[in-house]
Amino acid sequence: MPPENDCVYLMTMRMTAQAFTGLLAIGVLAGVIVYLHRDNAKLQTQVIALRGRDAPLTRMVEENQRAREFLAREKTDANEAARALHQDVVRLRSEVRELEEYARAAAAQKAAATAALAANLDPEMGLALLENFHNVGRGTPGAAVQTLIWAVLQAEERALVASLALASDAREEALQLLAHLPDSARATYPTPENLAALMVTNEILRVDAVQIVDTTPVDAQHVIVNVRLAGTDGTEKIPTELGADGWKVTVPKKMILGLEKRLNPSAPPAPKK
C-alpha cells in the first residue's frame, strides 16, 4: 500500500474513534440528564408529600403567630384603656377635692353670714333678722319702716295701723272693698288702714331679713326708703310720707287691688283710670 493510503487510513480511523467517543459521551450525558430529571421529579413528589404532611403544623404556627399578634394588640389596648381610666380617676378626684373645698368654703361663708345676721341688731348697718327689729318710733322714714316691721312681728295691731298711710286712690279702693264685705269682716277690719295692715303683714312675713339701705327724698313730705331683702341683690323702694304724728309707710292702690283679688278671685279686674 502506498504511503499516501496509509495516512488516509490512519486519519479515517482517528476520526472514527473521535466520533465514537463523542457519541459515547453524548449517550452518557443523556443518561445523566434523564436520571436527574427522574430524581428531581422524585424530590418534588417528596416535597409535596412533606408539605401536605406538615400543613397542620404550618397552620398551627400561623395561628399561634396570629394569636400572639392579637394578644399583643389586646395588651396594648388594655394598657391604653388603663392609662385613660387612670387619667379619668385622677381628674375626677381633683374635681371632687375642688368641690369639697368649695362646699367647705361656702359652708363657712354661710355660717359666718348667718352668725353676722343673727348678731346684727341694727338693720341700717346690714341685713338683720326680722325678729331683731325694734320699736324705734317714727321720727324718720327709716325708723318708720323698722317700727312697722317690728309691729308685724309682734302682732302690735295699733302700732301697725298707726305706721300706715293710704294714698288717696288706695283709700277709695279700700272703702269700696269694705262696703262689699260682710258685717263680720267689717267688724274685724273697720278702717282702710286695717285692711291695708292685712296685706302689709302678708308681704313682710314672706322675707326673713331686711336691710334699710338708704333714703331718697322726693319732697319735704315724701321720702323713698330703699331696702334690701335677704336672698336678693337689688333694692325695693318703700314710699313713706310725713303725717301729723310722724312718718308713715304709704300703701299704694295696687296693694289694695291685690287684697281684693285674694278675697274675691272671680271678680273682674277693676277698670283703669
Q: For residue 203, tell me if it sits in a domain.
A: yes
> Do residue 101 and residue 10 come from a single domain?
yes
Pair 194, 117: CB distance under 8 Å: no
Residue 22 located in a structural domain:
yes
Alpha-carbon distance of 233 to 59, in angstroms, equals 79
Name the domain boundary from 119, 154, 178: 119
Residue 55 has pLDDT above 90, yes or no: no
Domain termination site, one of 119, 146, 172: 119
Range of the domain at 194: 128-263
Total tally of structural domains belonging to the chain: 2
- Rounded Cα distance between 240 and 206, Å, is 21
pLDDT tens column, 189-224: 899 999 999 999 999 999 999 999 999 999 999 999
* pTM of the predicted model as reported, rounded to 2 decimal places: 0.59
The mean per-residue pLDDT over the stretch 98-109 comes to: 84
Contact indicator for 213, 222 with CB cutoff of 8 Å: no
Element (H, E) at 128: strand 128-129
Q: Are residues 165 and 140 in the same domain?
A: yes
59 SS3 class: helix
Lateral strand order in the sheet of 128-129:
128-129, 209-217, 222-229, 236-243, 246-251, 164-166
Domain match, 133 and 88 both: no
Domain boundary residue, one of 91, 119, 147: 119
Do 24 and 46 reside in the same domain of the chain? yes
The reply to whether 227 falls in a domain is yes
180 with 144, same domain? Answer: yes
